[in-house]
Amino acid sequence: MKILLMEDDAVLSDILLDFLRETWSVDYAFNAQEVYEHLETKEYDLFIFDINVLGQNGLELLEELRSFNNTTPTIFITAYRDTESLKKAFEVGANDYIKKPFELEELSVRIYNTKRLFNIETDKYIQITQNITFNKEKKKILKDKKEFSLTNKDTLLLAYFLNNKNRLISNEELSQNIWDFESQPSNATLRSHIRTLRELIGKEKIITIRGEGYLYE
């Protein structure tokens, strides 16, 4: 399942991204403008929008998206606790609503409920080659009818490459999107993860661009 998260609180966004990316493919937007930039090239199964962001707020953004016939299921995050805000959220097209502060597990329950209500398919394998498929949620690769388990980081790395095919990705970009700020990997650690993936999916799929980064083909 592909999720787009809009949240302008740096601390909360880091926490949510770390949590959500353990299970799903998640892109991040700081504000409405960045949401539209993502939507120019990608489609999503679920939006998670904070209402209280700078500039165009979550309510205004969703109302505008619905006017463009975008029907992507949406969960709002908000600090508002009044009934009027709740009413407005559903009027503009929200499908669910979670109030701060909340437990991460509560958000997970709401995501799974939205998945169930909208029949969003998440348990599926992505074709990598004719004989190799990848399931992010199970953290497994199926190769020649044999299953191979992946670590969490290897899973996130492969998913990131698959979402950014034929684009040069620097070591810094991979580190910032896969690891949290306090546990940034060394280049040797990153190379070790890349080597593991190459052994499973083929050396030709992840190309090293010396001094610049990697390219997934």
pLDDT attached to residue 14? 94
Whether 121 shows a pLDDT value over 80: the answer reads no
d(CA 42, CA 40): 6
pLDDT digits (tens, 9 = 90+) for 50-92: 999 999 999 999 999 999 999 999 999 998 877 888 899 999 9
pLDDT attached to residue 172? 92
Q: Which of 55, 88, 117 is the last residue of a domain?
A: 117
Q: Which of 96, 117, 138 is the last residue of a domain?
A: 117
pTM of the complete model beyond 0.75 = no
pLDDT attached to residue 110? 95
Whether 8 shows a pLDDT value over 90: the answer reads yes
Lowest mean pLDDT among 105-114, 115-124, 148-157: 115-124
Same domain, 136 and 212: yes
Q: Which of 60, 92, 117 is the last residue of a domain?
A: 117
Same domain, 108 and 12: yes
Grade residue 181 by pLDDT with cuts at 50, 70 and 90: confident
Classify the phi-psi angles of 189: left when phi > 0, otherwise alpha if psi is within -120 to 50, otherwise beta: alpha
Q: Which domain holds residue 203?
A: 126-216
Q: What is the mean pLDDT of the chain?
A: 91
Number of H helices, E strands in the chain: 8, 11
Same domain, 158 and 100: no
Q: Which tokens in the block code for residue 96?
A: 């669910």
Q: What is the CATH number of the domain that holds 162?
A: 1.10.10.10
Across 90-107, average pLDDT? 94
Same domain, 9 and 95: yes
pLDDT digits (tens, 9 = 90+) for 40-54: 988 899 999 999 999
pLDDT attached to residue 30? 96
pLDDT attached to residue 42? 86
d(CA 97, CA 87): 10
The number of folded domains in the chain is: 2
Across 178-200, average pLDDT? 90
Whether 123 shows a pLDDT value over 60: the answer reads no
From the list 88, 101, 9, 98, the residue with the least C-alpha distance to 46 is 98
Same domain, 111 and 6: yes
d(CA 29, CA 178): 16
Grade residue 199 by pLDDT with cuts at 50, 70 and 90: very high
